[in-house]
Structure 1
Amino acid sequence: MEYDITSRPSYALLTVSLDATESIRAESGAMVSHDAGIDIETNATGGFLKSVRRAFGGESFFQNTFTARESGDVSFAPPLPGDVDHVELNAETLYVQSGSYLAGAEGLDVDTDFGGARSFFGGEGLFLLRVSGTGPLFLSSYGAIESVDLDERGSFVVDTGHIVAFEDTADFTVRKVGGLRSTLTSGEGLVCEFSGSGTVWLQSRSQDAFLSWLIPKLPTQTNSA
């Protein structure tokens, strides 16, 4: 399997070249195009219960598996303008924020993992998407993606809305920015402090920040009697 990522970082397009019998699995709705020699199978990934858990984690109930009858290309794009990054897993586990899983090798295990109060208050819902195994994984973002090596940088703090993914070797705690007054006046809400070892992937834009800017500008509808 080979891949190419073009139009980075604002409107990234992922093109995967499959040899005959090779497969790749992607989020429902992520496909842009594919060659005629590639078949698509839609299924509830990992069985019904796992799919229900993934739905609670903010991911689609279904995923599509693309298998090449003969060598060919299939392309994918994230729903928001942003970047795509490749991570090669080798018997490893990544925790991925809702919406940042784009595609990956068919053999990767994609599941949700209960994150407790830290995940809930971190804006991730009650579940974090867990991707584990061996093979290529493709992450998407809103804005550009930057990777941070904790072994080199040490502990650092990031707004929860800018987190794309992190390795399970990283430790993290979620807290407010100061007290209530500073949270309101600074425009910030919750931050995550990472420490330990491993890599953290960040996105340069926040969906929550964009919606906070956009929603007050939308026209309101009034009902006439």
Structure 2
Amino acid sequence: MAAVSAEAWFFAASVPLAYLAGIRLVSHPRLRKVPPLIPALALLILLLVGLQIPHERFMAGGQVIDVWLAPATVALGLALYRQRQTLIRNLKAVLLASFAGTLTALVSTFLLVRLTGLDWPLTAALLTKSVTTPVALALAPGLGASAPLAVAMVIIAGNLGGAFGLQLLSLGRVKTPLARGLAMGTAAHALGTATVMQEGETAGALGSVALILAALFTALLLPPLMQIF
């Protein structure tokens, strides 16, 4: 990695520090139902707005965080390896749940577009919201979507899923690690998987599988659905 400025280190450190602060804030009895991601994002927004920091400068810290992406990916793979017997035993349920979740996300997006009359570039970006950023960037040109807009939709979906997904699953009485992991991975890709990993290795491993399958099923289902809608 090339030499990194002190400012980039500061911005990189601000992300985990904001999340730790968010965890501390929601430990208050009146705030226990608030996801820590919400105050963390609020703190980062206050930092950027208060100090008038351009997005480009803040993202210089991304090159520091990028170094840890490979080890983090390996960690997810290790969890999946440890839970391979669970995956094998529930393979049919995993495939069906990921397929159904992806199909529901795509069909609901098409129906929403029909009701609201959104233009196609925004529609195309919305269709990529439940896959990872690299997959969204690969799909965007073929769909006629703006790459930055597609990435923005992915980030929004991940943040919303990470912030509220577990609470919504609890409200719906979805309790098993298998179901919670599959739901979070399918709907909120990597951030959803990272969030549900906090509940245990089984949920995290299934989330990892689900986000991969969601990307695959999205690529397979989009062409026929575009013909239908």
Structure 2 length-normalised TM: 0.27
Q: Greater share of strand residues, 1 or 2?
A: 1
Q: Greater share of helix residues, 1 or 2?
A: 2
Structure 1 length-normalised TM: 0.27
